Amino acid sequence: MTGPVTQPGGEPPAEAPSAQAPSLGRKVGSAARWSLVNTVVMRLGNFVTGIVLARFFLGPEAWGVYGIAQTVLLVLLSANELGVSLAIVRWEGDPRRFAPTVLTLSAASSCLLYAVIFAAAPAVARVLGSPEASGVLRVMCVCVVLDGLSQVPAGFLTREFAQGRRMAIDALNFVLSTAVTLLLAVQGWGAMSFAWGSVAGNVAALIGCCLAAPGTLRFGWDREQARALLRFGLPLAGASMLALGVVNVDTMVVGSSLDQLALGFYVLAFNISGWPVRIISEAARRVSFAGFSRLAETPGALAGGFGRALGVVMTGTVPLCVLLAVLASPIVELVYGARWLPAAAALPWLMGLGLVRIGCELAYDCLVAIGRRRSLIGVQGLWLVVLVPVLVIGAGAGGIVGVAQGHVLVAGAVVVPVFLLALHRGGIGLGSIARACAWPFLGGAVMAAVLLGLERLLGDGVLALLATAIAGTLGYVLCVLPSRSFLRGSAPAAAPAAAKASSTVPARG
């Protein structure tokens, strides 16, 4: 670094940690609490809504159509603003100087993407094995344009750690989208009810972001700023698109290789496996990128911050993953009904994938914050290239279970070691990662043993499941208690002996 940044596009200068750490720590802590509350409340609401729709209004075929449309939408959202909106969070200086150019680039690229998908929707739906998804796709992808417009005001809220205001916006989004979806589903609109509900919610979110960050929705253009923004954003957009491709290519493989019924079961199982990802990881990622960006110039603080963040995320995620993996069949039958039981066969494997995804997403944010965009593109590209043939083989050999097993195989054997290597090159040692994961993984093993033993002993009635889950969770809590000082940031983690002896072995996630 040669000095303070005076033009957009440069790397941020080194900060003075001693002067900024207390203030930053308070901001991050407050934002993390608001973000966690927000995510838990919203996801619980979505969870209940999904149960109502699956039990009473929509069958597996409708879920399959929705899954195809949602997959395409997520891939488009990963690149709809060309990655330039992250400059609002990452760059130093007054972001209002370059925000109008960011908004212009984001809006233009989003509108272009929507025009392309509108024209290609019938062909895309046919290739993915769901021709009837064409109309749903055209409606749902209106969210691409709405999301592109909201990126700048949302970026200002993230930069300011204003997660309280974000919670109010997300609540408005949830209430409106859920009301529209349920109303249309009751009237027999099927998968189209999801599409119009998503559009209504995104309109509400755009309005809310503009009100919460006034004056940020202004268009403008500066050629030099645009060049710098594209140099910064395009690699990130490419890595993000690859990341979303990795997460969603399985839906495409199932849709094109198997029937719609299998696709519906797989989409439900994958959505269930994403509960821990969405509850824990989403809350963490709303503050992790901004926090890592502030620490990017101080390697020691960055390594400590990443280790602590990983420890917190894993401690909160492992029990959810273990519970859903071990008790997959009784939970699916209890929550969704017996007709959805085929989805439970793939769920244990997808929970393993969910755990890996959480760790990889946190590592992704850290690598972006320290400027290792080429490493990200390489990791995500390798993941996708290896994954596609493995999933195709898995679908042919074992149906949706084979697809889930292929996912876990590639993630554990290829992706985790590569991410660990990228983090090591960025100054985050394998020892700190192993210490962060050791206690949660030990607790997870104990919890799995308790759940398996009590399920055989007590059965799978409602009260028996509740008692089993409580006992397993208690066993987990007792195992992770020694790491509480580390998680609070007041002491280094004292890893169990097994973890110390194998600190060079890649951890899952």
> Distance between the two ends of the chain, CA-based, in angstroms?
32
Report the 10 Å Cβ neighbour count for 446.
17
| Residue with the two structure tokens 């959505």 | 271
d(CA 493, CA 495): 6
Going by C-beta distance under 8 Å and a sequence separation of 6 or more, which residues neighbour residue 385?
A: none
pLDDT of residue 24: 52
d(CA 281, CA 270): 16
Count of CA atoms in the C-beta half-sphere (13 A) of 290: 25
Please say whether the beta carbons of 365 and 290 come within 8 A.
no
d(CA 438, CA 416): 16
d(CA 417, CA 441): 17
What does the DSSP 8-state code read for residue 96?
A: G
> What averages of pLDDT result for each successive group of 10 residues across the chain (509 residues)?
36 40 53 58 70 75 76 72 68 77 87 88 79 84 88 81 77 87 86 88 90 86 83 73 76 83 87 76 61 65 79 88 92 87 93 88 79 74 90 93 94 90 83 88 94 87 89 93 74 46 34
Please say whether the beta carbons of 86 and 212 come within 8 A.
no
φ/ψ of residue 259, rounded to 5: -95, 175
What does the DSSP 8-state code read for residue 190?
A: T
d(CA 370, CA 168): 31
Q: Per-residue DSSP letters for 221-239?
A: --HHHHHHHHHHHHHHHHH
| Residue with the two structure tokens 């940020």 | 216
d(CA 246, CA 244): 5
Please say whether the beta carbons of 266 and 401 come within 8 A.
no
Please say whether the beta carbons of 439 and 495 come within 8 A.
yes
d(CA 130, CA 138): 14
d(CA 142, CA 123): 18
What does the DSSP 8-state code read for residue 128?
A: T
d(CA 63, CA 457): 35
- Which residue type occupies 318? V
Please say whether the beta carbons of 81 and 109 come within 8 A.
yes
Please say whether the beta carbons of 295 and 90 come within 8 A.
no
CA 140 from centroid of its chain's CA atoms? 19
d(CA 458, CA 456): 6
56, 408, 69, 49: which is closest to 267 by C-alpha? 69
pLDDT of residue 12: 39
Q: How far is CA 117 from CA 84, 151, 260, 381, in A?
A: 21, 20, 22, 23
Report the 10 Å Cβ neighbour count for 225.
23
92, 119, 89, 113: which is closest to 102 by C-alpha? 89
| Residue with the two structure tokens 């799978």 | 460
Instruction: Give the dihedral of Cα atoms 248, 253, 259, 265; nearest 10 deg.
Output: -40
498, 364, 383, 354: which is closest to 434 by C-alpha? 498
